[in-house]
Amino acid sequence: MIGRPAPDFALADQDGTVHRRADHAGRYIVVFLYPKDDTPGCTKEACGFRDLAGDFASLGAAVFGLSVLDSASKRKFASKYGLNYPLLADPDASVISALGCWREKSMYGRTFMGVARETFVIGPDGTIVMHWPDAKGSEVHAEEVLAWLRARTG
């Protein structure tokens, strides 16, 4: 993953605003993929990024949450928890698949396709510069990503 060009995207957020990777050329982009809006682990992770949004912004980094549910679901999730960054809807999982994160999962003996909880940092040149393949659904994960970015940006 690291060193590979990040997939281009043009996805709507919770307010219907379309965000493109190209709109953020020249800066770091953090994309955390999460399975489902308003579930315990996803909420903890999303709130961790919310609480550090100012720190990411001070480094010039854009932060995006990404999952398959639609913009209406994301709007409810963002409103309920005061999420202050774009939550991108990828209903056909095209970007999620391009990142290799649409996978077979298993829960309670049932298998299904779903989003793997992973985080990527896209560098100013559009390549993936960091990847957490086993991101945790906790507030601490955002701190890990921020520490990594701080070490690279001064």
The catalytic residue among 12, 42, 95, 101 is: 42
Name the nearest CA neighbour of 49 among 34, 32, 66, 35. Answer: 32
Place of tokens 């955002």: 142
Question: What's the N-to-C CA distance of the chain in angstroms?
Answer: 24
101 is catalytic: no
What are the phi and psi torsion angles at 104 (to 5°)?
-75, 130
Which token pair is 41?
Answer: 């682990």
Please give the torsion angle defined by the CA atoms of residues 86, 92, 97 and 102, in that order, rounded to the nearest 10 degrees. 90
The catalytic residues are 42
